[in-house]
Amino acid sequence: MTDKKYAVRARDIYKVYPNDIKALNGVSLNVDYGEVLVIIGASGSGKSTFLRTLNRLEEINSGSIEILGTNIFNKKTKPTKLRAKIGMVFQHFNLFPHLTVMENITIGQIKVQKINKKNAVDMATVLLKKVGIVEKADVYPEQLSGGQQQRVAIARALAMKPQLMLFDEATSALDPEMIGEVLDVMEKVAKEGMTMIVVTHEMDFAKAAADRIAFMDQGKITEIATPEEILANDNNSQLKQFLSKIH
């Protein structure tokens, strides 16, 4: 039985690497449709591993995950079909260097979704306006700043009309002056009602955009609450230590 009540429903997720390293140590989590969940925690706490299990870039050892009402580790679930519903923006932009910005955004629509080129270009133009770089449509990724490349990556993900967006440290490879422009776009997407799970250290974004923040430590979610409750939490010493380091 699957549960369509939640956009994401993870139950008791374990991911163990060789040498008995528990990357995920019993993670359970529900995410509502339209919710923005930010996941924070120190490096190595399991944040990115968990995010990557949600579109099966990582397999799990045990547990269950339902995305948009589908049990994603069911043998009948095809990862490619699943990923068509999930947009993912990585730390590194992963743009095709030999394609223009416009071609990077339209290629998935044309090749995967079989949308005709004119409609794909129209959609890409709307999205480039949304992310604030419509004038860069005909340039190549190497001619863009890191912040601009990441905005193209967000536009490319949105072009596939996903029902869930995953952001894995989307600003951590950027120079400080470029971080704000990417976070502004992410905040805009959040305000439009997109279901989002965001792994980040950017607490200003978390405070502004998150409905809830989950804190991960040693492969577990040890706290999950509203931004206000997380920031006021005095009981979790690891959380307190983590927040003191990033403020």
At 84 the three-state DSSP class reads coil
Longest dimension (CA), the chain: 56
Alpha-carbon distance of 138 to 179, in angstroms, equals 23
CA angle (190 as vertex; 56, 127 as ends), nearest 5: 85
Domain positions in the chain: 98-161
Cβ(204)–Cβ(38) under 8 Å? no
Residue 40's DSSP bridge partners are: 215
Q: For 211-228, write each residue's pLDDT tens digit.
A: 999 999 999 999 999 999
Residue 39's DSSP bridge partners are: 199, 214
Provide mean pLDDT across the span 107-124: 93
Nearest 10 degrees: CA dihedral of 187, 193, 197, 199?
A: 0
Lowest mean pLDDT among 79-88, 155-164, 236-245: 79-88
Q: Which of left, alpha, beta for 225 (phi over 0: left; psi -120 to 50: alpha)?
A: beta
The whole-number pLDDT of residue 3 equals 55
> Does the pLDDT of residue 1 top 50, yes or no?
no
> Does the pLDDT of residue 55 top 70, yes or no?
yes
Q: What is the pTM of this model?
A: 0.93
The whole-number pLDDT of residue 80 equals 80
> Does the pLDDT of residue 161 top 80, yes or no?
yes
Average pLDDT, the chain: 92
Cβ(164)–Cβ(89) under 8 Å? no
Pairing status of strand 21-31 against strand 8-17 = antiparallel
Kindly report the number of other CB atoms within 10 A of residue 69's CB atom: 12
Alpha helices in 45-175 (DSSP H): 47-53, 79-83, 101-111, 117-130, 146-159
Letter string b/e over residues 100-121, b meaning 16 or more CB atoms within 10 A of that residue's CB: bbbbbbbbbbeeeeebeeeebb
Provide mean pLDDT across the span 122-145: 96
> Does the pLDDT of residue 109 top 70, yes or no?
yes
